[in-house]
């Protein structure tokens, strides 16, 4: 039984299923390798050379180098895996999550203190909430 297609109709959201998992397998496994200090040091010393040790697509490697989390998500990354890149860069989860919204770090933090992003208009693609940015490429590969 395939996953309900409704999961693909939530705006600004990529649901990590078996298809995404296959697509992003080596991207995510590369991220896991960053849990070892030696690997973090080697990655920081020469990102390109370290990435070339993994069976990732060129697009995935470019997205990592650009630290484009939305792009990495679209290419099969999962946020819990991608967060290892953020940890390597010394970023908090709030900084990582905020970076995917197009908001500044200060604006995102203020939004959270103000009660977070509203669900209104953000339940289904085609409504009029603030997570429905058409320019976002988060939904590109759906």
Partner 1 sequence: MARITASVYTSHIPAVGAAFDLGKTHEPYWQKVFSGYEFSKQWEKEHKPDVILLVYNDHATAFSLSMIPTFAIMTGPEFYPADEGYGRRPVPPVIGHPELASHIASEVIQKDFDLTMVNEIDVDHGLTVPLSCMFGAVDAWPCKIIPFAVNVVQHPVPSGQRCFNLGKAIREAIESYPEDLNVQIWGTGGMSHQLQGPRAGLINSEWDNKFLDELIADPAALARMPNIDYVREAGSEGIELVMWLIARGAMADVAGGPPPKVAHRFYHVPASNTAVGHLILENAA
CB 58 within 8 A of CB 67: no
- Paired tokens of 69: 């989390």
85: nearest Cα among 32, 45, 41: 32
The reply to whether 3 sits near partner 1 by the rule CB under 8 A is yes
CB 68 within 8 A of CB 58: no
- Classified as helix, coil or strand, 14 is coil
- Paired tokens of 50: 């370290």
CB of 135 to partner 1, least distance (A): 9
The reply to whether 116 sits near partner 1 by the rule CB under 8 A is yes
Show contacts with partner 1 in window 51-110 (CB under 8 A): 69-70, 73, 78-81, 83-84, 87-88, 92-94, 96-98, 100-102, 108
Task: Identify which of residues 52 and 120 has a Cβ nearer to partner 1 in the complex.
Answer: 120
The burial class, CB within 10 Å (0-12 / 13-18 / 19+), for 24 is: buried
CB of 55 to partner 1, least distance (A): 13
Binding site for partner 1 (CB under 8 A): 3-4, 6-7, 10-18, 21, 25, 28-29, 31-32, 34-35, 40, 69-70, 73, 78-81, 83-84, 87-88, 92-94, 96-98, 100-102, 108, 111-113, 115-117, 119, 122-124, 131-133, 136, 138
């Amino acid at each position: 039984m395939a996953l309900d297609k409704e999961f693909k109709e939530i705006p600004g959201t990529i649901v990590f299923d078996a298809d995404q998992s296959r697509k992003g397998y080596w991207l995510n496994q590369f991220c896991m390798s960053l849990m070892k200090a030696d690997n973090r040091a080697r990655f920081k010393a020469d990102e390109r050379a370290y990435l070339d040790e993994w069976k990732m697509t060129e697009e995935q490697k470019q997205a990592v180098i650009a630290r484009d989390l939305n792009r990495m998500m679209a290419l099969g990354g999962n946020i819990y895996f991608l967060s290892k890149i953020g940890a390597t860069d010394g970023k908090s989860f709030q900084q990582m999550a905020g970076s995917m919204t197009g908001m500044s770090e200060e604006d995102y933090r203020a939004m959270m203190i103000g009660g977070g992003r509203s669900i209104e208009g953000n339940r289904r693609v085609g409504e009029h909430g603030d997570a429905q940015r058409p320019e976002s490429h988060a939904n590109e590969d759906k």
